[in-house]
Amino acid sequence: MTVRVPAKVNLQLGVGPLREDGYHDLVNVFHAVSLFDEVTAADAARLEVSVQAAPYSRVAVGGVPADGDNLAARAAGLVAARLGVEPRVSLRIRKAIPVAGGMAGGSADAAAALVACARLWDDRDDPVLTREDLMEMGAEIGSDVPFAVLGGTAVGVGRGEQLTSALTRGTFHWVFATADGGLSTPAVYAECDRLRETRGEPAPRPSVSEELMTALATGDAKALGAALTNDLQEAALSLRPSLERVLDAGRDFGAVGALVSGSGPTCAFLAETEEDAAGIADGLDGAGVAAQVLRASGPVPGATLV
């Protein structure tokens, strides 16, 4: 049972106040892009996890736990508990999504494991678990997991897990610049709070950008590029000032939009055309500002059996 699952970039990440449960209220426009991890689930004597870079990818998988702490293992445990079976499964994870890069790679693997294990253990003809059930279970694992099940482009509110699909037209072309060494998501959120506190600035109540929604619905890359926003960007740049140079370089090479992806440190560049994307990727490669330069397009579907 092999499931392919996409990375995400946040087209809008509006960060509201810190809640009592330690999360922030968000307005989060997710967009699934064609960088995929694959998770293969097979019957085994006990729960086993292995993690490797996908054959065509140079992702550094060193920091990813290959045990019960892996989000995919937790997903398998949840599905097993819901279906009343033992989680005797081997999960083979092949990664092409940057690790700790702000592209929800760990959440993607959890989403893939939910779909793969449900297929392995649920009744084929009369399944107990619906796609919505899997998304709800995903929210218990992480805020970004439900979107990795859903895919496409979607607006997330709450802590990002309450999703509504967004209308889009056509395909958008992206370039991603990865960095050596990840950023910790909680650390970036904490830095965002700290910067706001230092300025005596109350946390805003974010709302969905109308410009962004119109740009998506009309397939207007230039307008989309101008509407991209990320409230975590300042915090990510504060923790990793070198990212400013990466963003500048992408703009110089013709990106119509440039921003830190999620909590970073991956930087995302929107190109007006596929040819422009090739030019931006070549430019970034030559400039030597990124660990790796990756091209992708979106939107693409969420976790899918292959």
Q: How far apart are CA 167 and CA 173, in angstroms?
A: 17
Q: Could you say which DSSP state residue 102 is in?
A: S
Contact 92, 40 (CB under 8 A): yes
- Given the residues 8, 37, 220, 231, the one annotated as active site: 8
Residue 159 within binding range of ligand C5P, rule CB under 6 A: yes
Q: How far is the CB of 90 from ligand C5P (least distance, A)?
A: 25
Q: Which residues does 13 contact at the CB level (< 8 Å), separation at least 6?
A: 26, 27, 28, 29, 229, 230, 231, 232, 262
| Single-letter residue type at 131 | R
Q: Among 122, 144, 191, 231, indicate the residue that binds ligand C5P (CB under 6 A).
A: 144
For residue 274, report the phi and psi dihedrals to the nearest 5 degrees. -65, -40
Residue 292 within binding range of ligand C5P, rule CB under 6 A: no
Residue 53 belongs to what H/E stretch?
Answer: strand 48-53
Helix (H, G, I), strand (E, B) or coil at 139: helix
Stretch that binds ligand C5P, among 21-29, 49-57, 79-87, 270-278 (CB under 6 A): 21-29
Residue 143 within binding range of ligand C5P, rule CB under 6 A: yes
- 8 labelled catalytic: yes
Q: How far apart are CA 77 and CA 74, in angstroms?
A: 5
| Single-letter residue type at 263 | S
Stretch that binds ligand C5P, among 20-28, 168-176, 227-235, 290-298 (CB under 6 A): 20-28
Q: How far apart are CA 128 and CA 59, in angstroms?
A: 36
Q: How far apart are CA 175 and CA 253, in angstroms?
A: 11
Residue 142 within binding range of ligand C5P, rule CB under 6 A: yes
Q: Among 17, 65, 170, 186, indicate the residue that binds ligand C5P (CB under 6 A).
A: 186
Q: How far is the CB of 108 from ligand C5P (least distance, A)?
A: 12
Residue 64 CA: distances (Å) to CA of 43, 59, 109, 183: 22, 11, 11, 14
Residue 189 within binding range of ligand C5P, rule CB under 6 A: yes
Query: Which is closer to ligand C5P, CB of 55 or CB of 202?
Result: 202
107 is in an annotated binding site: yes
Residue 220 within binding range of ligand C5P, rule CB under 6 A: no
137 is in an annotated binding site: no
Please report, in range form, the residues annotated as the binding site for ATP. Answer: 98-108
Please report, in range form, the residues annotated as the binding site. Answer: 98-108
By CB under 6 A, name the binding residues for ligand C5P. 23-24, 26, 142-144, 159-160, 185-186, 189
Residues marked active site are found at 8, 144
